[in-house]
Structure 1
Amino acid sequence: MKLHTLFIALISVLFFSCSPQKKTQEEDTKNWIWVHANKDRTVEEWTRLLKQYNSIGVKAILLGANTEVLERVIPLAHQQNIEVHAWMWTLNKNGDSIAAQHPDWFSVNRLGESCYDKKPYVGYYSWVCPSIPQVQEHILNKVQSLLDIEGVDGIHLDYVRYCDAILPKGLWAKYDIIQDKVYPQWDYGYNPSNIKLFKALYGYSPLDLDDPNTDENWVEFRLSTVTDLVNKIADLVHSQNKQLSAAVFPSPRLSRKMVYQPWDQWNLDAALPMIYHNFYEEDIAWIGETTADGVAIVDGKFPIYTGLFVHDLKEEDLKTATELAVKSGANGWCLFDANSFEKFHQSKID
């Protein structure tokens, strides 16, 4: 009981001390948490967890779950005044049985290797090409199926990008690689469909170039294919008066270079940049610096909520990180993820 009281006191201080004093749009100020759903969790367990999230100032959950679980959790969350946004993998189609029937949908690297049968980095990387009409239709159908769930507040896009051309520096040792530039085996987007579209626009193929990544047209082309898809999704989501958010790389500058993700150009209601400083071998101050960079580039188009990797943050660092985010212009913060948060703080939750 003593530890539980200490926990509540600690996180209450964390929330209220980093709450912004002034916001031009109060409704944009909130905190989030990514939640991987356990389908066997009972109503009582969900109620306990939702009350816990509420107690630390979380007003929206990004819930990765099937329809049955979403339908169970949404009314429980709304009782706690917590929004529920359906969290979906967008262009990484690992485990997607429909995509698996279409090898031609999958992204191809500069060596001609397809994600369909040769996974880059990890076994669950199954990237599809955003410019293929059938891929777009498949993704939009998935979005619509989530929008059809009664009470859902929004759609949250994850893996909405190309495969990592350059990994965060802190991960290079894990994969025994050095990525001081974009190398062919990690350079994706060379699908026949992309090449055909690009050649029709510019009259040449990127494969004719010694280093396609020095060609501005080719780089911008891939950026535009992701933007076009996201903005089609945005049109669908907004037509049904729901919100669209996305988990994105730390800042538009980094995301363009690393994964061809120009998220400042998207028609979002919220961006949640994953500012996981340890992945980049940076100190905690980088969270504030990178948040400020994104806020400046977006320039008020939509609010930013700084994503924090809980596992790499001690309790005092978590408080510092949330304060840095808000002081740097974020409208709040988002924790990755609920399971890590519970495990990390288990001694005090019990």
Structure 2
Amino acid sequence: MQLFKKPLINIVNNHLIDYPTPINIHYAWNFGFLAAICLIIQILTGIFLAMHYTPHIDLAFLSVEHICRNVNFGWLLRYVHSNGASFFFIAVYIHLFRGLYYGSFSQPRQFVWAIGIIILLLMILTAFIGYVLPWGQMSLWGATVITSLASVVPLIGNSLVVWLWGDFSVSQATLNRFFSFHYLFPFIIAAMSCIHLAILHQVGSGNPLGVDSKINKISMYPYFLIKDFVGLIVFLIVFSFFIYFMPNVLAHSDNYIEANPMVTPHLIVPEWYFLPFYAILRSVPWKLGGVLAMLISILILVVLPWIHNIQIRSSYFRPVYKIFYWLFVACCLILGWIGSCAVEDPYVWIGQIATIFYFSYFLIIIPFLGILENFLVNKLQKI
């Protein structure tokens, strides 16, 4: 016991107590901590829900109803888990956009950023297969539409779809394997999060000024741990409000109807946190092109540190970039709105314009501004 006690104390001391933290970081840095809390909530509630859930197409929907109606505090477990997924994505998206604004993805934190995007990909995959488990109308048809996208793979596409389903349609075999993977992936996300944090603490945290400094740092405890817990209290108040007063507002009403393969919903849409990527998928009229655009829209974030070559990181000192950044945020919100709309004009061409701007931001605006700003910095240094 003593053999493990000292290393554990050293880890806690080095990463939670004496870890040198930039003195000027503010509440925008809280969302990494909040995302970790959300992950813990999701794992714990998921374990208890799995004790009562039945992964069978004839019983899955009824087992979810049984959890809500008959299991002691089952309704609370179910609503904490379902709303927790939304709040997990909110925390991660704010964490990501904060990194974009303050240049936290730049060297020497490029691998911290890349692992963070891999965690986001795993979250998307986990949330998608988890959305299938209640076996409501949107679960069945959402799974059918999204898994059918694998058919665009040349030569083996149709065989790949059948392999994913485990049958010739979304059925019992599909539900079984989705339940298994949904139980497994959160633990992989937890492991990746530990790696993400370990690498961050190797290179040091960023700050709003975007400068690397060995000075002006203080220990994490008590200053920033208290700050994190203040943010946690606010988060829990908002989270509790949704759980107790609006538990279904973030879910789709069609998913409270038992899955019926003979009836197609009027409009098949994923959960709100997938809508921007879904809008990009629909904005390309060519099926293979749409799938590639959707995948690239996420993967392009991984290579962002290598296409961003500006010497000045923070938007505090980049007024032109700051304008484009907020236009990009507006673009993502517009894509989210378009993803929930019908495939008809004017939504189609609005989505296409927003998609073009989304990719232009990463492939044209950021590199061009980087070159221009580096040129101006070099000129000023010579003066």
TM-score when normalising by structure 2: 0.23
Greater RCO, CA 8 A, separation 6+: 2
Pick the structure with more helix per residue: 2
TM-score when normalising by structure 1: 0.25
